[in-house]
Amino acid sequence: MQNILVYQAQTYQTLVPDNSRNIEDGNEHVYTKLNRIRRNRGYSFEHVLVQKLNTSAWSARRLGGSSANLPDIIAVNNKKSIFLSIEAKSGTADSLYVPPDQIQRCFQIRNMFQVYKTAHVILAFKFMRKKRIREEGKTIYIHRKLQEYYKIADKYSKMNDLPIVKCTYEGRTYEIINSETRRCNLKDYVMPF
């Protein structure tokens, strides 16, 4: 039987489909399709960021993200000696989350490039135009304004136990440590596009 791991309201939950026989009878395509949509949405955001960053002054590459145990994107400006290690999240919910292991990977790569005078870990959040709402057991989508935020996460570089970082649709940031949520006010990074 296939289980689905979902991050929801500060805790990881494993959702087991109600009718396990349907999964065994070949309806797992529904869950596979949902995962593919989420993965494609993330890839699309990363791809667009790389395209926007690749200018005459900047060079950017998508690294493969979580599956490769690397940040999603690295970008450099060799003329100004700037290095960015970027973790990108996109979605249809009102909050997006970056797990601590993904933040840690960004710092590990950033620390490999100490030749740069300026180096940042950037958490990139894209809130899609469609907002997903669950009503009476059904999922519906309503339209809203597309929002993107780029937050500097350098304050976590010296921490041993990194938090989960949450960003809301309004751009407010929170850190979640031991099921306790507190506002963290990560500073905005002005992207070069």
pTM for the full model?
Answer: 0.80
Note whether residue 189 is domain-resident. no
- pLDDT tens, residue order, the chain (193 aa): 343 434 333 333 444 444 444 444 455 655 565 566 555 656 799 999 999 999 889 999 999 766 788 999 999 999 999 999 999 999 999 999 999 999 999 999 999 999 999 999 999 999 999 998 888 989 888 999 999 999 999 999 999 999 999 999 999 999 999 999 999 999 999 999 9
Kindly state whether residue 47 falls inside one of the protein's structural domains. yes
Residues 73, 60: contact at Cβ < 8 Å?
yes
Amino acid (one-letter) located at 75: A
Categorise residue 93: left if φ over 0, alpha if ψ from -120 to 50, beta otherwise.
beta
Give residue 177's domain range. 4-183
Q: Is 190 a member of any domain?
A: no
Tokens of 95: 């909050």
Residue 29 lies in a domain: yes
Residue 21 and residue 38 in contact, taking contact as beta carbons nearer than 8 Å: no
**192 located within any domain:** no
Task: Give the chain's domain count.
Answer: 1
Query: What DSSP character marks residue 53?
Result: H
**What CATH number corresponds to the domain at position 86?**
3.40.1350.10
Q: Which two tokens stand for residue 156?
A: 């976590």
